[in-house]
Amino acid sequence: MIEIKQLKSGYRGIQALKGVDLTVREGEMVAIIGANGAGKSTLLNTLSGVVRAQSGSIVFDGTEVSRMPAHTISRLGLLHVPEGRQVLADMTIRENLMLGALARSRRAALYDIDKVVSMFPILGERMDQMAGTLSGGQQQMMVIGRALMGTPRVLLLDEPSLGLSPLITHQVFEALATLHQEGLTIVIVEQNANRALAATERAYVMERGLIAQHGNSSDLLNDPAIIEHYLGSA
C-alpha cells in the first residue's frame, strides 16, 4: 500500500533521511522506533507532504505522492496525526472533530462523530467544551478522532503516548488495536519501543536517517541488541 524507496529529505543543512526503504501493506500496523533525532518524525512528515522529499519515491496505492502537496496527500487518505497534537484550543471538541471531515474527498465517510464517541466516550461527555480544557490524553484521543473523521486509508501517528500516563497510553493503544482490527492500516512512530513492538506486527528501527533493521515485532522484542539499545529502560 505504501512503498518507499531510497527516500531522502531534511531541512536546511540537515540530511535527516539518507535513503530510506520501507513497505507497508494494506491492513498492517507497523512501528517505527529509534533514538531521538534518528529521523522518525521526518519520515512521517515527508510521507504526509509536510516536509518535501529531496529524492527517492513514495508510492501510495499506485500513485507517486512524493512531490504532491500535503492537502492532496491527505485527500488520498494518508492522514497524519503529528507529534504534539495540534489541538485548536479555543474551539470546541465538536468543532475540532468536524474540521477533520474537511480532509475527506469523495470517499464514503467511515467514521462520524457517533463512531468517534463510541471509541472515546469521554469526548462525548465534553463535546461542547473548549478543546484546551481537555487533559493530554483526552487531546490525543481527540486528534486521533479528528483524523478518523477524514476517512483515513492509512493513519500515521507520531508519538501518541508522549506525555501520557501508562493508563491513558493503554487506552489509546486499545483504540488503535480496535481500528487495526477494523482493517485500518496504521504506521506508528514511538519512543516507547516496548509498547510499539507489543502492539504491531512488523517494525522498522531507524538510526541516523537510515533503516538499521526491520522484522517481525515479536522477533525484535526478543533481540538482544534491540533490548539493550531501545528496551532496556522501558
**Among the residue ranges 37-45, 69-77, 164-172, 225-233, the one whose residues contact ligand ATP (CB under 6 A):** 37-45
Contact flag: residue 163 with ligand ATP (CB under 6 A): no
* Per rule CB under 6 A, count of chain residues that contact ligand ATP: 12
Contact flag: residue 42 with ligand ATP (CB under 6 A): yes
Minimum Å distance from CB 30 to ligand ATP?
Answer: 15
How far from the centroid of its chain's Cα atoms is residue 223's Cα? 24
The 3-state DSSP class for residue 124 equals helix
Minimum Å distance from CB 40 to ligand ATP?
Answer: 3
Cβ closest to ligand ATP, residue 42 vs residue 74: 42
Residue 134, Cβ neighbours under 10 Å: how many?
Answer: 21
Contact flag: residue 2 with ligand ATP (CB under 6 A): no
Q: Taking the C-alpha atoms of 41, 132, 115 and 74 in order, what is their torsion angle to the nearest 10 degrees?
A: -40
- How far is Cα 60 from Cα 110, in angstroms, rounded to an integer? 20
The residue count for the chain: 234
Minimum Å distance from CB 58 to ligand ATP?
Answer: 16
Contact flag: residue 34 with ligand ATP (CB under 6 A): yes
- How far is Cα 2 from Cα 26, in angstroms, rounded to an integer? 8
Which residues are CB-contacts of 14 (< 8 A; sequence separation ≥ 6)? none
CA angle 177, 178, 180 (to 5 degrees): 65
20, 22, 39, 226: residue in contact with ligand ATP (rule CB under 6 A) = 39
**Among the residue ranges 8-16, 123-131, 140-148, 213-221, the one whose residues contact ligand ATP (CB under 6 A):** 8-16
- How far is Cα 1 from Cα 124, in angstroms, rounded to an integer? 33
**Among the residue ranges 35-43, 67-75, 89-97, 112-120, the one whose residues contact ligand ATP (CB under 6 A):** 35-43
Nearest CA-CA partner of 23 in 61, 50, 52: 61
The label of the residue with cell 493508563 reads: 167
Contact flag: residue 52 with ligand ATP (CB under 6 A): no
**Among the residue ranges 31-39, 53-61, 167-175, 178-186, the one whose residues contact ligand ATP (CB under 6 A):** 31-39
Q: Which residues bind ligand ATP (CB under 6 A)?
A: 11, 14, 16, 34, 36-42, 191
